[in-house]
């Protein structure tokens, strides 16, 4: 398991996750998702989860029987189908790793 996906190194990685932007998330989804239509309604009408203070939002996917802070929650980025409400999520560390590798290639 690489450092960026190790749930035991939480505080440093959570700071790194804060460096992700909405553009990073959108670029990741365009680059990595091969089928952009919703698996439920077959439409292509998505929005990125966001909040009042951020341009994208992290979702905490519960990893154990109790809902607490990291490392019991997997930080994820999410998108929502505007037609049927289907929620798609991707591990935020995958987006972070992709962003780092993209930067190294430049």
Q: What is the residue-wise DSSP string for 43-55?
A: ---EEE--BTTBS
Peptide bond into 71 cis (omega under 30): yes
Residue-level pLDDT at 75: 84
Residue-level pLDDT at 51: 61
Please give the chain's pLDDT, 106 residues, in tens: 344 444 444 555 777 888 888 889 889 999 999 999 999 999 999 988 776 555 567 777 776 665 555 567 788 888 899 999 999 999 998 999 999 998 888 7
Residue-level pLDDT at 3: 41
Model-level pTM? 0.73
């Amino acid at each position: 398991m690489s450092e960026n996906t190790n749930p035991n190194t939480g505080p440093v990685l959570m700071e790194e996750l804060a460096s992700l932007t909405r553009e990073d998330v959108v670029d990741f989804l365009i680059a990595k998702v091969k089928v952009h239509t919703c698996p439920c309604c077959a439409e292509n009408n998505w929005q990125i989860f966001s909040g009042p203070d951020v341009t994208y939002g992290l979702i905490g996917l519960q990893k154990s029987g109790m809902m607490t802070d990291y490392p019991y929650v997997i930080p994820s980025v999410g998108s929502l189908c505007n037609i049927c409400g289907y929620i798609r999520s991707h591990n935020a560390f995958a987006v972070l790793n992709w962003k780092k590798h993209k930067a190294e290639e430049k």
